[in-house]
A and B are shown apart, each in its own frame.
Chain A
Amino acid sequence: MLLVAVSVVAMLFDIFPVLLAAILSALIWDVFFIPPRFSFTIANSEDALLFALYFVVASVNGALTYKIRQIEKIALKKEEKENTLKLYNTLLNSLSHELRTPIATIIGSTDNLLMHSSKLSDENKIELMNEISKSSVRLNRQVENLLNMSRIESGFLQLKKDWVDVSELIFDVVNRLKEYTADHPVGVIIKNNLPLFKLDYGIMEQVLYNLIYNAASYIPKYCVITVRASCLDDKLILDVEDSGSGFPAEETDKVFDKFYRLKNSRTGGTGLGLSIVKGFVEAHNGTVRLENMPEGGARFTIEIPTEISYPENLENE
């Protein structure tokens, strides 16, 4: 019994409590089992030996259990470390791919233009210049993503909240994304008499931009994107919905993880867009969730609790 107790202590605590438990249990053993009972006195040398022996057994038992636990701990730590390393490697791979591809294109194209200018046809020159232009824009977007992610991770993200006309915000983003959404009609549905909300305009612009951009990048041609805004219980509700094929069910809870990319996704993304969405929404104390719709397609729903103001309440001139 007492030995079991020592083992339990060893599993739960550090080495010193273990030794203390061993001493205590030896004393208890002494009091109860070595005659004369109910006293610390040890009558003869045989019992003294027995007591000493018990103490040694208890200590060794405790020390061993403690040691085993230590080894398990190290193994666990190692596994954790390996997992982090694995994540770090995926991250580094996807990142270096995403950054190096456009850089390689730019260097290659400029080399061609500089060294073989006389051999290149005018069409080829223009094509190379277009590649440089496209790659630079892509590179800029990735840098923007990384900067945003580090703003979130640094913990220094400070919101500049101000009254926002959500309709203005949504159309502003939709208009800016026109060239990327040429193949996808974007519908906007805004609830009548929507109040003004206190939000950080620039940050929410990024959130919507990433969601619509993401949808437009992955859904098949001519699939529709719908953005909805409404107000429920003083909360702003924003929906971005598409008529694509939705997300694999087993991956819906992972898409917001940093650097996570769908198993079969094509190249051209760092897996940062949606984690930035999550970080920015959470900075507003809001939530974002993803669901597949029964009729197909995916829907991102953002809920942000915030101050609201109804324009009618403004004093008129």
Chain B
Amino acid sequence: MSKPEILIIDDEAEMLRLLEITLESNDFKVNKAVRAKEGLIMASNHPPDLIILDLGLPDDNGHNVLLKLREWYSKPILILSVLNNESDIVKALENGADDYIVKPFRTGELIARIRSSIRRKSSTHNDNKFENKNLMIDFELRTVKKNNQTVKLTATEYNLLALLVKNEGKVLTHHFLLQQTWGPGFQDQTQYLRVYIAQLRKKIEDDPNSPEFIHTESGIGYRFTRED
């Protein structure tokens, strides 16, 4: 298999160099753009497998660039930004970013997020089963097993879990989870989400107080991850 290609759109020379070294040593092929305009042209001429986008570009707002890319580009876009306020993060995620990483970041974490984004987008979504550690989910039969024991979930609990698992590795915002699980009109009813997440954790985590599957993204949403 050829190396996955990554396009980085960031205007800081040092950051570009760091990302280039980090990604190349992890078997990715790297292309770089320092302007929004240049990045958009490069992406359309030769669509990469993933785009890393900085929000603070000199010639355009990163949120705009994200929207322009999302008009036609369907592969993962990862936002890398110094802005760590919840509103920017939620906005980017709701405008179609797959992930959001705040600078300064740990390179191990960055690589893990890139891999999981690429894996998620290339998987067929038709997997009938999820299996990791002692957790097994059968999407066809709508059953969940923990340590080979069937876990009794209510319909809402199951739907919420299935939504998280199908978007494995991705941060799902409170809004999105509520709307998808409870329907429109429930986007702001976060108390439902809190209660159901707590119940789910009790049922599928070894220790619900230090969850390994369902992670809290403070003020933003939840992320489901598997143990590698």
Contacts and interface: CB of A to CB of B under 8 A. Distances in A.
A217 interface: no
B108 interface: no
Nearest to B216: A172
Interface stretch (B113-121, B132-140, B187-195): B187-195
Most buried by A among B174, B209, B218: B218
Contact of A201 (B104, B154, B198, B219): B219
B87 to A, nearest CB: 8
A160 B219 contact: yes
A208 to B, nearest CB: 11
Q: Chain B, interface size: which category? A: 10 to 19
Contact of A162 (B87, B190, B192, B197): B190
B1 interface: no
Given A136-B104, A172-B216, A309-B191, A160 B209 contact: no
A196 B194 contact: yes
A183 interface: no
Nearest to B85: A202
A192 to B, nearest CB: 14
A165 B210 contact: no
B156 interface: yes
Interface string A302-317: 0000000101001001
B190 A163 contact: yes
A311 B191 CA distance: 8
Given A160-B86, A162-B190, A175-B210, A314 B218 contact: no
A317 B210 CA distance: 27
B21 to A, nearest CB: 15
B154 A196 contact: no
Interface in B196-228: 197-198, 209-210, 216, 218-219
A64 to B, nearest CB: 59
A168 B86 CA distance: 18
A101 interface: no
B141 interface: no
Contacts of B218: 172, 201-202, 205
B155 A164 contact: no
A314 B104 contact: no
B155 A165 contact: no
Nearest to A136: B104
A311 B198 CA distance: 11
B209 A165 contact: no
Contact of A168 (B154, B156, B192, B194): B194
A164 B194 contact: yes
Interface string B134-157: 000000000000000000001110
B192 to A, nearest CB: 6
Contacts of A205: 218
Interface string B100-111: 000010000000
B206 to A, nearest CB: 13
Contacts of B197: 165, 168
A78 B95 CA distance: 56
A309 B195 CA distance: 11
A314 B192 contact: yes
Contacts of A200: 219
B216 A314 contact: no
Interface of A: 136, 140, 160, 162-165, 167-168, 171-172, 175, 188, 196, 200-202, 205, 309, 311, 314, 317
Given A168-B197, A202-B86, 5 more contacts: A140-B104, A163-B194, A165-B195, A202-B219, A309-B191
Ranked nearest first, the 4 interchain pairs of A and B with the lowest CB-CB distance are A163-B191, A202-B219, A171-B209, A165-B194
16 contacts: A136-B104, A162-B219, A165-B194, A168-B194, A168-B216, A171-B209, A171-B210, A172-B216, A175-B210, A196-B191, A196-B194, A311-B191, A311-B194, A314-B192, A314-B195, A317-B155
